[in-house]
Amino acid sequence: EPPVVAIVGATGVVGREVLQCLEDRGTPVASIRLLASARSAGQTLSFKGAHLPVEEVADHQFDGVNIVFFCAGATVSRRYAPVAAKAGAVVVDNSSAFRMDPTVPLIVPEANGSQIVPHAGIIANPNCVAAIATVVLAALQRCWSISRLNLVTYQSASGGGAAAMDELRDATSAKLNGDDYAPNAMPHPYAFNLFSHNSDVDGETGYNGEELKVIEETRRILSQPKLPIGVTCVRVPVLRAHSIALSVRFDHFVDVEQVRARLENAPGVRLVDDRDSNHFPMPSEATGEYDVLVGRIRRDLGDPTGHTIAMFICGDQLLKGAALNAVQIAETLLALGAAQEAA
């Protein structure tokens, strides 16, 4: 029978998106328990026309629950995900807390959905860039051997949460109105600016935490632990869709038309690659979409061997980059009957 579902961090931007996905997709649920911090408890959120109360998260709240979505950051996941798993629920964790734990599957259903079992009660949802990129990369990897990757990302404010989205809106309108504006939720000015969006830079490599996550998680999802990956992550003044300039080097020469044909039929991908009308993936068209948009497919002129194909990708950061992927993980579990087994 349908599962009892809980969402921890229900009032956050990702938690709200999970609830919306469950409603839009008609994912079968027996009931939904909305959980949040004491500060956010007491609100109600709408689901299928009903107003559901948001309660304060506590250990006993996981009794009788089959699937719990964690959307409240790594600290909350570390504190409560093991409690939920112990109570018999399967946890789908959107935080980075367990992504590199070998006992925790790190899953993008279109890429490595078969690796969702066996699990020990927790399944990790990847970093949004890794999730969006591996939908495309896995489709290519099934046909040709990948020998290196290069990514440059253009990451939306939604990756920084509701406060960052509000700051983008406020900073942009202030700039347009000629008002003074001091950044508060983000480390640097948001309007009409680009910046590296987190401060934990690795002393040895000079790569920041976001870039190292993209490398580690992409390797894990593709099961290529030694795959050389170069990446530069940039925060851009876009609301909720990430873009990625991606270069894929293969072990041998691959025809551009074959790559295009493969991606045209890939699950979770929509080709937007019209050179005549200069119509290519844009965040404005990826926003609100389940599919990852791919275009600008061409031979990379930077590789004299001809083995590298360049492309441009856009994906909704809150959907395929977070909430949709988490709900698809839950749907995969339900299809396997694995959610009830764990309960």
Indicate which residues carry an active-site annotation. Answer: 128, 242
Residue whose CB is less far from ligand 2RA, 61 or 96:
96
The residues of the shown chain that bind ligand 2RA, judged by CB under 6 A, are 127-129, 155, 159-160, 197, 210
Least separation in angstroms between residue 29's CB and ligand 2RA is 25
Least separation in angstroms between residue 191's CB and ligand 2RA is 18
DSSP per position, 212-238? HHHHHHHHHHHT-TT--EEEEEEE-S-
Residue whose CB is less far from ligand 2RA, 20 or 317:
317
287 is in an annotated binding site: no
15 is in an annotated binding site: no
Residue nearest to ligand 2RA (CB): 159
155 is in an annotated binding site: yes
298 is in an annotated binding site: no
HSE at residue 182, side-chain half, CA atoms within 13 A, is: 1
Extract long-range pairs of 75-84: CB within 8 Å, 24+ residues apart.
Answer: 76/8, 76/9, 77/8, 80/8, 81/122, 82/122, 83/59, 84/6, 84/8, 84/121
Residue whose CB is less far from ligand 2RA, 61 or 125:
125
Three-state DSSP string of 74-116: HHHHHHHHHHHHHCCCEEEECCCCCCCCCCCCECCHHHHHHHH
- Rounded to whole angstroms, the Cα distance separating 228 from 151 reads 11
Least separation in angstroms between residue 214's CB and ligand 2RA is 8
29 is in an annotated binding site: no
Q: Nearest-CA neighbor of 100 among 199, 213, 233, 14?
A: 213
Least separation in angstroms between residue 211's CB and ligand 2RA is 10
Q: Nearest-CA neighbor of 111 among 133, 83, 144?
A: 133
Residue whose CB is less far from ligand 2RA, 155 or 287:
155
Residues in binding site for phosphate? 99
Residues in binding site? 11-14, 39-40, 99, 155, 158-159, 235, 317
Residues in binding site for NADP(+)? 11-14, 39-40, 158-159, 317
